[in-house]
């Protein structure tokens, strides 16, 4: 490894790759991308479960500067998105910058050198002027704390680490969790397993998935100048209308709720099962899921939905709060990711030896979700409160990448070595944000979601329209930063 690259990017998912592409475009070539895995792709490398696909239409869930008229479906499968990212890396010549098998374990700011010291898992350390973290928000699998989990003797794996060596055909499978991944893989398992038990803690709101394969002719049309852009814009504005309910008044989500309830009614004739699958909180409080085959899978003879909490896992079975013991050969965890914890667990030491955990003792936050006071030249992509429930996060990533480039330009313009966001700017930004969030569906919708931290504060979702975020981050306000020379 070069001893001191000008910039260091952590991660090679949508975020890290976007940062690298835009850095090159802006004329910065002195950077490395450190990736702990052996391949690029992030989410789309790790999640290989059957049925894995995006749930924002592909023409929107992709880079605005790299449209792909050839998407095979409205919601393309995992392999295709992974290949798209690989193709982007290839096209933009990122190969020489990528260092695989390199896990960043610590970041330490050296006040004297005005540079970051990056420590990696193999014991190497080097200095760099700036760090961009694209380490991913939905990256570290989360497992539930259930007594006896380690006692289970059969195969047990998380959806983000699917064990393809396990053939589920004819097996008794237990799925724990009914989130965005589970609704995609449950129908696939149901077709193969002898028996499938789905353990549901909270029923998700599910709407029809307008998915279809683009015929060859449509793809040829989409390759015409302006066509893919027009489709993307149409999708963008359609999805943005959903933000009205999220960001203005949850009552505006009534139409969405009606659509979801109709979908449930149409697909689940049994009133008993339907009652168990009917959510008891306002739609949008948790991510709204899209699926046409999840409910039908649950109505199959070989599938059972259990809504009683799991009390214990034994060697070959699962016991629930109703006292029922259900035999299982395989357990699949569809229990999501560590989101807020993942940010807070990082070993990052800023100015004057201050740990990020101290900076975040009252909660994880950043200015525009990107910079944190006391941690100069450290930029988070998809950092605190910049996730979305209604549109593509790639849009947010692109806004943030442009913001980071703006910060770098400010540095070159002023000849400063580093910039550090002023605590008062960060405070004002987050106070406004939390005030706004307090009345919205994620806090008031009657559910407990991974959007909230342990104190019930939303540290995950952007509470507005995405164009608003875009507008706010379009220009760097020099007054919000202290320049370090």
Ligand X SMILES: Cc1cc2nc3c(=O)[nH]c(=O)nc-3n(C[C@H](O)[C@H](O)[C@H](O)COP(=O)(O)OP(=O)(O)OC[C@H]3O[C@@H](n4cnc5c(N)ncnc54)[C@H](O)[C@@H]3O)c2cc1C
Closest to ligand X by CB, 211 vs 477, is: 211
Closest to ligand X by CB, 393 vs 447, is: 393
Q: What's the token pair of residue 276? A: 């168990």
Q: With binding defined as CB under 6 A, does residue 12 bind ligand X?
A: yes
Work out which of 61, 214, 379, 469 binds ligand X, going by CB under 6 A.
61
Interacting residues with ligand X between 377 and 396 (CB under 6 A)? 381-382, 392-393
Closest to ligand X by CB, 47 vs 460, is: 47
Closest to ligand X by CB, 181 vs 282, is: 181
Q: What is the DSSP letter of 445?
A: S
Beta strands in 374-468 (DSSP E): 378-380, 418-421
CA distance 231 to 225: 12
Q: With binding defined as CB under 6 A, does residue 104 bind ligand X?
A: yes
Work out which of 37, 67, 218, 483 binds ligand X, going by CB under 6 A.
37
CA distance 346 to 143: 19
Q: What is the CA 319 to chain-centroid distance, rounded? A: 31
Q: Give the angle 251-255-261 at the CA atoms, nearest 5°.
A: 110
Q: With binding defined as CB under 6 A, does residue 260 bind ligand X?
A: no
Backbone angles phi, psi at 319, to 5 degrees: -110, 135
> 141 forms bridges with which residues in the sheet?
337
Work out which of 103, 265, 358, 431 binds ligand X, going by CB under 6 A.
103
Q: With binding defined as CB under 6 A, does residue 404 bind ligand X?
A: no
Q: With binding defined as CB under 6 A, does residue 128 bind ligand X?
A: no
Q: At what angle do helices 14-25 and 393-414 cross, to 10 degrees?
A: 40
b/e map 32-57, b = 16+ CB within 10 Å: bbbbbeeebbbbbbbbebbbbbbbbb
Q: What is the CA 379 to chain-centroid distance, rounded? A: 17
Stretch of 24-32, 37-45, 351-359, 445-453 contacting ligand X, by CB under 6 A? 37-45
Closest to ligand X by CB, 77 vs 148, is: 77
End-to-end CA distance of the chain: 27
Q: With binding defined as CB under 6 A, does residue 332 bind ligand X?
A: no
Q: With binding defined as CB under 6 A, does residue 175 bind ligand X?
A: no
CA distance 412 to 212: 48
Helix %, strand %, coil % for the chain, to 5? 35, 20, 45
Work out which of 138, 156, 303, 452 binds ligand X, going by CB under 6 A.
138
Interacting residues with ligand X between 17 and 36 (CB under 6 A)? 34-36
Work out which of 5, 8, 9, 11 binds ligand X, going by CB under 6 A.
11
Q: What is the DSSP letter of 442?
A: H
Stretch of 47-55, 193-201, 347-355, 447-455 contacting ligand X, by CB under 6 A? 47-55
Work out which of 7, 9, 23, 52 binds ligand X, going by CB under 6 A.
52
Work out which of 10, 23, 411, 433 binds ligand X, going by CB under 6 A.
10
Binding residues for ligand X, total number by CB under 6 A: 31
Pick from 62, 64, 61, 58: which is nearest to 212 by CA?
Answer: 58
> Which stretches of the chain bind ligand X, using CB under 6 A?
10-16, 34-37, 42-43, 47, 52, 54-56, 61, 103-104, 134-136, 138-139, 181, 381-382, 392-393
């Amino acid at each position: 490894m070069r001893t001191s690259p000008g910039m260091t990017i952590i991660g090679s998912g949508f975020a890290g790759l976007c940062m690298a592409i835009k850095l090159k475009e802006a004329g910065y070539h002195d950077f490395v991308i450190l990736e702990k895995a052996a391949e690029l792709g992030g989410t789309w490398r790790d999640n290989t479960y059957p049925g894995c696909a995006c749930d924002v239409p592909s023409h929107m869930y992709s880079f605005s500067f790299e449209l792909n008229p050839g998407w095979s479906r409205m919601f393309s499968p995992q392999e295709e998105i992974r290949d798209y990212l690989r193709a982007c890396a290839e096209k933009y010549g990122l190969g020489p910058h990528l260092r695989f098998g390199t896990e960043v374990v610590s970041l330490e700011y050296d006040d004297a050198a005005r540079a970051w010291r990056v420590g990696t898992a193999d014991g190497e350390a080097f200095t760099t002027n700036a760090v961009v973290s694209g380490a991913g928000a939905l990256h570290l699998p989360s497992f539930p704390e259930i007594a006896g989990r380690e006692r289970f003797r059969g195969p047990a794996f998380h959806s983000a680490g699917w064990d393809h060596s396990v053939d589920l055909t004819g097996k008794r499978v237990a799925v724990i969790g009914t989130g965005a991944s589970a609704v995609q893989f449950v129908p696939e398992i149901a077709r193969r397993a002898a028996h499938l038990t789905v353990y549901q803690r909270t029923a998700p709101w599910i709407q029809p998935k307008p998915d279809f394969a683009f015929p060859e002719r449509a793809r040829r049309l989409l390759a015409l100048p302006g066509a893919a852009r027009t489709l993307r814009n149409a999708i963008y504005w359609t999805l943005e209308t959903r933000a009205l309910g999220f960001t203005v008044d949850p009552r505006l989500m009534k139409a969405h709720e009606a659509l979801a309830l109709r979908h449930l009614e149409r697909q689940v004739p049994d009133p008993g099962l339907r009652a168990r699958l009917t959510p008891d909180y306002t739609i949008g409080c948790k991510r709204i899921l899209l699926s046409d085959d999840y409910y039908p899978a649950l109505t199959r003879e070989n599938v059972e939905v259990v809504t009683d909490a799991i009390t214990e896992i034994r060697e070959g079975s699962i016991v629930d709060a109703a006292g029922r013991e259900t035999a299982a050969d395989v357990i699949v965890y569809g229990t999501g990711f560590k989101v807020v914890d993942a940010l807070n667990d990082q070993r990052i030491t800023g100015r004057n030896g201050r740990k990020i955990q101290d900076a975040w003792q009252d909660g994880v936050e950043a200015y525009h979700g990107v910079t944190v006071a006391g941690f100069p030249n450290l930029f988070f992509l998809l950092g605190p409160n910049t996730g979305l429930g209604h549109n593509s996060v790639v849009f947010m990533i692109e806004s943030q990448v442009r913001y980071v480039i703006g910060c770098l330009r400010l540095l070159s313009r002023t000849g400063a070595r580093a910039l550090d966001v002023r605590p008062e700017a960060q405070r004002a930004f987050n106070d406004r944000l939390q005030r706004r969030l307090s009345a919205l569906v994620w806090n008031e919708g009657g559910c407990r979601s991974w959007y909230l931290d342990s104190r019930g504060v939303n540290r995950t979702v952007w509470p507005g329209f995405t164009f608003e975020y875009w507008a706010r981050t379009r220009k760097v306000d020099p007054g919000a930063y202290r320049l370090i020379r």
